[in-house]
């Protein structure tokens, strides 16, 4: 059954690129706040408010990317270190409350087909590229 409205309240997305660092973005859609962290550039960490339009974009993106349907392709599993070299590790969590994620997906170089659209929307909302910078 297709969901017509997004009921998730928080989205957390992380990219880790070997020897370059990690970027994390946490979007609290209930309170309209975004938190950005970079491990290799601590002076670029920030928190800012989200406009109503940004929240709407995020909610529409969750539905259009069909993130809840990623389950069969990226089942919940504990975080484990890659046994083989990993160029880019990614994690995504969706919350309906502030405590535990309802859905959590992660991968190593195996991005879902809709990840490009997700990255484009995040770049628009964050107002800077959603990528690990040198």
Q: pLDDT, tens digit, for every residue of 95-133? A: 987 778 888 888 888 888 888 899 999 999 999 888 876
pLDDT of the residue at 71: 65
**Per-residue model confidence as pLDDT tens digits over 47-104:** 999 999 999 999 999 988 888 777 655 555 555 554 667 888 899 999 987 778 888 8
The 8 Å CB, 24+ separation contacts for 1-8 are 3/63, 3/68, 5/59, 6/59, 6/60, 6/62, 6/63, 7/96, 8/59, 8/62, 8/94, 8/95, 8/96, 8/102
* 10-126 has CATH 3.30.70.20 classification: no
């Amino acid at each position: 059954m297709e969901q017509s409205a997004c009921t998730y309240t928080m989205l957390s997305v992380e990219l880790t690129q070997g020897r370059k660092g990690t970027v994390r973005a946490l979007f609290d859609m209930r309170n309209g706040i975004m938190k950005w962290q970079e491990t290799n550039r601590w002076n670029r960490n920030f928190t800012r408010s989200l406009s109503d339009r940004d929240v709407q974009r995020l909610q529409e993106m969750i539905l259009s990317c069909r993130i809840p349907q990623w389950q069969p392709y990226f089942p919940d599993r504990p975080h484990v270190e890659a046994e083989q070299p990993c160029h880019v590790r990614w994690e995504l969590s969706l919350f309906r409350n502030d405590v535990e994620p309802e859905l959590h997906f992660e991968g190593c170089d195996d991005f879902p087909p809709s990840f490009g659209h997700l990255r484009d929307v995040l770049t628009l909302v964050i107002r800077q590229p959603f990528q690990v910078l040198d």
